[in-house]
Chain A
């Protein structure tokens, strides 16, 4: 999934707006509807199923950034 979450949301909103304007042929409306339903389901899944990652970001002495997992028990 290359789209960002916000892009997906924007796309979903555009579809809703297009459908609500209501000047589309029925065929096209149905296609858009299916696409919209799929998008909203994907977005929701990304929200609900995502597993939280907790990481620690540090800058090493040579200036490189280092990202490592955060141990919550520490």
Chain B
């Protein structure tokens, strides 16, 4: 019978106490067989990452506690770094450390409760690197305005490279490409990506300025969070930050955010978008060139204009302006003198000429014609008046006669006699107006309306 414990039960004379080692060894055998697989939830306390690479911590639910160890060979697979207070679910096995009689859980996998392990890991790395200042805005370098050569750190066969080359082919005729092939997922991806970034920088330091890579695109196409994980690794972020060449990150799709994005000088939402950024630069430089040649032409135009203006203002200089003016003035004076001398010499002649001009004027056909016209006009007027008179005269005469006859009629003595008056006359016809002129016995004639009476005055009274 090999087992001393059992032997002790049956063989009295063989009875003896077991050694501590024996006990621990037996406990170990039992426990490790019974608890070869455990799955336990608890909060981490007393976490310690040893220099050896192993992790040591305890799990507790508040009342009870158990020790745990996660060895280097396992913990490299765990993305996040456990810390005190974190609630986790642990898979592993129970192990007894015989020399101390202690038991602990040997951890094979560790999952945070609640958030996924990757999310926790992401936050942890982000917090750590942010604290170091790795994502500081002040560290971001501007992209070169005119990249001539772009380096692409990605998988040689992946979708990202294909997308980038497609865009560049269509949009940028002149940008050269250097592919730095790496794995983009799996255990060794992060290391290769970081190495690729430094290889590109190494290349730059050993080549002429014209051959240098101006900008790096670091990325890959879409995939699961696990697929993209390499771009969340600290060493990739550090390689990006240490790159002398500005880096555009281009990982997965628009929604995928990685630590590499935070560390890069510029985040492109996708590999295609990164290529668009580079291509846009070519378009911009073409436009800039166009603008420069317009500026050149305009400024030389201005220079020519101002030169012409200089010539013009020279032409306006006093010497050139005044000389012709002086000449004109002299010419005026000469003219004036000439006119005055003509005045003196030719005054009488001119007067004669003028009177002659008057005579000839009067005799001119125009003057004669005018006179003839005037005479004709006057004749016409006269004729008109004459004809008017001829037509009117009889009519006007009749009117006057009728009027005169009426007046005559009114004044006629016959009209008075008709009213009963009479006229007394001397025989010689003299009208008697005063009785004193007459004496008794004088012959008188009394005229009445119809006929007259011959009578003798019998007495004269007054």
List residues of chain A with CB under 8 Å of any chain B CB: 4-6, 9, 12-13, 15-16, 19-20, 22, 24, 26, 29-30, 33, 36-37, 40, 43-44, 46-48, 50, 52-59, 65, 67, 70, 72, 74
Contact call A46/B303, Cβ cutoff below 8 A: no
Q: Which residue of B lies closest to A49 (CB)?
A: B174
Determine if B181 is an interface residue (Cβ-Cβ < 8 Å). yes
Contact call B203/A36, Cβ cutoff below 8 A: no
A residues within 8 A CB of B132? none
Q: Which residue of B lies closest to A30 (CB)?
A: B300
Contact call A20/B295, Cβ cutoff below 8 A: yes
Contact call B285/A70, Cβ cutoff below 8 A: no
CA distance A9 to B173 in the complex (A): 18
Contact call A59/B195, Cβ cutoff below 8 A: yes
Give me the 3 closest cross-chain CB pairs, A-B, nearest first: A19-B299, A50-B174, A29-B303
CA distance A13 to B151 in the complex (A): 28
Determine if B404 is an interface residue (Cβ-Cβ < 8 Å). no
B residues within 8 A CB of A40? 289, 292-293, 296
Which residue of B151, B156, B203, B292 contacts A16 across the interface (Cβ within 8 Å)? Answer: B292
Contact call A6/B146, Cβ cutoff below 8 A: yes
Which positions 91-144 of chain B face chain A at CB distance < 8 Å? Answer: 144
Contact call B296/A37, Cβ cutoff below 8 A: yes
CA distance A72 to B304 in the complex (A): 53
A residues within 8 A CB of B89? none
Contact call A54/B292, Cβ cutoff below 8 A: no
CA distance A33 to B151 in the complex (A): 36
A residues within 8 A CB of B156? 56, 74
Distance between B100 CB and nearest chain A CB, rounded to angstroms: 46
Contact call B199/A19, Cβ cutoff below 8 A: no
CA distance A49 to B200 in the complex (A): 26
A46-B174, A52-B174, A52-B176 as given contacts; A58 in contact with B181, CB under 8 Å: yes
CA distance A67 to B292 in the complex (A): 36
List residues of chain B with CB under 8 Å of any chain A CB: 144-146, 148, 151, 156-157, 165, 168-169, 173-181, 195, 199-200, 202-203, 206, 209-210, 282, 285-286, 288-289, 292-293, 295-296, 299-300, 302-304, 306-307
Contact call A47/B181, Cβ cutoff below 8 A: no
A residues within 8 A CB of B210? 4-5
Contact call B168/A52, Cβ cutoff below 8 A: yes
Which residue of A24, A48, A54 contacts B176 across the interface (Cβ within 8 Å)? Answer: A54
Q: Which residue of B lies closest to A12 (CB)?
A: B292
A5-B148, A26-B307, A57-B200 as given contacts; A52 in contact with B175, CB under 8 Å: yes
Q: Which residue of B lies closest to A36 (CB)?
A: B296
Contact call A47/B299, Cβ cutoff below 8 A: no
CA distance A71 to B302 in the complex (A): 52
Contact call B151/A19, Cβ cutoff below 8 A: no
Which residue of B151, B285, B302 contacts A9 across the interface (Cβ within 8 Å)? Answer: B285
Contact call B299/A22, Cβ cutoff below 8 A: yes
Contact call B177/A54, Cβ cutoff below 8 A: yes
B residues within 8 A CB of A47? 173-174, 282, 285-286, 289
A4-B210, A6-B146, A59-B195 as given contacts; A53 in contact with B303, CB under 8 Å: no
Contact call A26/B285, Cβ cutoff below 8 A: no
CA distance A5 to B209 in the complex (A): 10
Contact call A70/B177, Cβ cutoff below 8 A: yes
Contact call A56/B175, Cβ cutoff below 8 A: no
Q: Which residue of B lies closest to A55 (CB)?
A: B178
A55-B179, A57-B179, A58-B181 as given contacts; A65 in contact with B202, CB under 8 Å: yes
CA distance A26 to B306 in the complex (A): 9
Contact call B299/A44, Cβ cutoff below 8 A: no
A residues within 8 A CB of B145? 6
Distance between A63 CB and nearest chain B CB, rounded to angstroms: 9
A9-B285, A16-B296, A33-B296 as given contacts; A52 in contact with B303, CB under 8 Å: no
Contact call B302/A22, Cβ cutoff below 8 A: yes
Contact call B177/A65, Cβ cutoff below 8 A: no
Known: A16-B295, A26-B304. 18 other contacts (CB 8 A): A9-B146, A9-B289, A15-B296, A19-B299, A20-B299, A29-B300, A33-B300, A33-B303, A40-B296, A43-B289, A47-B174, A47-B286, A48-B286, A54-B165, A55-B176, A55-B178, A56-B156, A58-B181
